[in-house]
Amino acid sequence: MSIDTDAVPSEDTQAPRPAGSGPVKRVIGASLVTGAVTALVLTLAVFPGATESVITGSLLVAFGLGWAMLRVLTARMTSQPQRWATVPAVAMTATGAGLLIFTPQNPTLTWLNFL
């Protein structure tokens, strides 16, 4: 019994994908748009006329969501996971949540600005 080597698919028959092509561009675009749209909705519809700390906090949470989306979707949907996006996602979301929870007033924000 002989094995027909032409019938067995080899790794060489698959053409390599060019660098930068595929869904990674769509994931990056979707993450950017999601962060920007969420920031606009939170600023203009959810917290209109709020204090500076609430507006800034909501913007940071929204953009943190965009970074988190980039991290998760590139790991699941592409061959180029962007694990580094965890750092800005956590930093922005934690800072924004802190501003939303504690709602510091102007003197506190001015003092924090000097740190």
Decide: residue 71, CB within 10 A, 0-12 exposed, 13-18 middle, 19+ buried. buried
pTM score, two decimals?
0.73
Which runs of E-coded beta strand occur in 28-83? Answer: none
Give a yes or no: residue 5 inside a domain.
no
Please indicate, yes or no, if residue 78 is contained in any of the structural domains.
yes
* Per-residue model confidence (pLDDT) at position 67: 96
Task: Convert 24-53 into a string of H (helix), E (strand) and C (coil).
Answer: HHHHHHHHHHHHHHHHHHHHHHHCCCCCHH
Q: Is 10 among the domain residues?
A: no
**Residue 73, domain member (yes or no):** yes
Q: Per the domain annotation, does 18 fall within a domain?
A: no
Q: What is the largest CA-CA distance in the chain?
A: 86
Residue 6 belongs to a domain: no
Closest CA to 24 of 74, 90, 66: 74
Query: Which tops the pLDDT comparison, 112 or 93?
Result: 93
- Number of structural domains in the chain: 1
Domain that holds residue 95: 23-113
Question: What is the tens place of the pLDDT at every residue in 5-50?
Answer: 555 555 555 555 555 445 788 999 999 999 999 999 999 999 898 9
- Asked, for residue 82, whether it belongs to a domain, the answer is yes
Tokens of 109: 């924000």
